[in-house]
Amino acid sequence: MDRVDIGFVGVAITILLILVRVPVGVVLGTVGFVGIWILTSLRASWSIASNVPFELIGDWNLSAVPMFLLMGFIASEAGLTRGLFRAARIFLGGIPGGLASSTVVASALFAAASGSSVATSASFSRIAIPEMLDAKYDRGLACGSVAVSGTLGALIPPSILMILFGIFAEVSIGKLFLAGVLPGILSAAMFILLITLRVKANPALAPRSDIHATRDEKIAALLDIWPLPMLIALVIGSIFLGIVTPTEAGALGALIAMLIALARRALSFRVFSRAVFDTITGTAAIFIVIVGASVFARFVALSGMAGAMTDLLGFAIERPVLLILLTSLIYIFLGMFLESVSLMLLTLPLLLPLYHAAGIDLIWFGVICVKLLEIGLVTPPVGLNVYVIKGALGDRVALGEIFRGTAWFLAADLVTLGLLVAFPMISLWLPTISQ
């Protein structure tokens, strides 16, 4: 068995172990370690495994991960995200399917602040879905709108997936953040358009709401939610204007979140300690996967798989759209079984050499990659957001109904993906003008 064959066997074993629910970081690190041992020697493998954690975790850019997590946890624990759905409902409740469209807007803001699709889906499963069901909304529409809206936090900065992509692809995290803004807004707009058109075509899906808010109620709703949009705008704006780096923006965001919470008298010792604890555990979980993925990436490089993949898919290198199509098929298929961070860190060592050879802008590819990972979060049979919603609702809604509801939104996501591929400047315009 030659080196390339060993590499492909290692990838197959990795996917198999992940599918049987062995922890991803452990799988990537173990397969990488054993693979390097087979290809070189135990001493070389041990040396790489010993050096990688220090070299990688010592990377200054990675400090953005705990900072943005801390910002999100403080915003959530201090109640800065409270009232989002109520405010969105007041302003959008009158349009066809207004409660579902309100969910999209509120979820997008919540996900941008928290950086967690799972947390967003869990929260709005308890906030928005019961209200839509009480209003006689179609179960699939209600659950589907929450499932897909939670994914928007992967594109709208600050995004942990964007940070990890930037580090592994060695591209500017700040430009990736800016590149995700318009695609994130476009995705949300497509969801709202889909909801409106479906409800217009079949009003029985969502009976019209009788919400008629007064001017005072609208002002009160805006005053209740102003900290969160301001927090996100300050973080993105400071990066766009070049005032801070993305790493510094994470610390700035965490500081602003604490100051806002203090000003609203919502930052107690209990709130702060819970936010710090959640940040520590969340960061540790992500870093374990990153270290394992880094060892695995060295195994892939030593095996010569990257060159073999380039030779195998060489016909697509001269056709960027075909290469993206093949990548999309890989991500959509694997996204049915793997969660987003694992999938991205498993595939990047294999795909990045192809995109380098094709001369494709990696900022653009980063947006496409994250969009595909979003789709995987709601794709059967393992769509993580769907199972989060099912767990929150229990027997009130069947799993099949949730997946049925997400199918329409998946179609909208594929249209959005097509627009991002056909018109790269949707992603690249903001990074270009910020230079």
Structure tokens at 95: 């349009």
pLDDT, tens digit, for every residue of 108-158?
Answer: 877 777 666 766 777 777 777 887 888 888 888 888 888 888 788 788 877
CA distances from 228 to 32, 112, 251, 260, 339 (A): 41, 9, 16, 9, 27
Q: Which residues contact 211 (CB under 8 A, 6 or more apart)?
A: 89, 90, 93, 94, 98
Structure tokens at 300: 């892939």
Whether the Cβ atoms of residue 124 and residue 110 lie closer than 8 Å to each other:
yes
Structure tokens at 66: 């705990």
User: Does residue 237 carry a pLDDT above 80?
Assistant: yes
More confident residue, 217 or 425: 425
Structure tokens at 92: 């959008």
pLDDT, tens digit, for every residue of 66-115?
Answer: 888 888 788 777 776 666 777 777 777 677 888 888 888 888 877 777 66
What's this model's pTM, rounded to 2 decimal places?
0.80
Examine residue 320 and say whether the peptide bond preceding it is cis (omega within 30 degrees of 0). Answer: no
How many domains does the chain divide into?
A: 1
Specify the pLDDT at position 415: 93
Q: What percent of the chain has pLDDT over 90?
A: 10
């094709």: which residue's tokens? 358
Q: How many of the other CB atoms lie within 10 Å of CB of 349?
A: 22
Structure tokens at 26: 């452990």
* Banded model confidence at residue 362, pLDDT cuts 50, 70, 90: very high
Specify the pLDDT at position 186: 93
Whether the Cβ atoms of residue 31 and residue 299 lie closer than 8 Å to each other:
yes
Query: Which residue segment(s) compose the domain that 223 sits in?
Result: 3-433
| 180 alpha carbon, distance to own chain's centre | 11
Going by C-alpha positions, the residue among 111, 85, 194, 100 that lies closest to residue 139 is 100
More confident residue, 341 or 405: 405
Per-residue pLDDT, averaged over 372-393, amounts to 77
DSSP notation for 63-97:
GHHHHHHHHHHHHHHTTTTTTHHHHHHHHHTTSTT
Q: What is the DSSP letter of 381?
A: T
Structure tokens at 324: 């993206």
Q: Which residues contact 431 (CB under 8 A, 6 or more apart)?
A: 172, 175, 178, 179, 363
CA distances from 16 to 24, 98, 302, 349, 433 (A): 11, 43, 21, 18, 44
pLDDT, tens digit, for every residue of 385-414?
Answer: 777 787 777 777 777 888 888 888 989 999
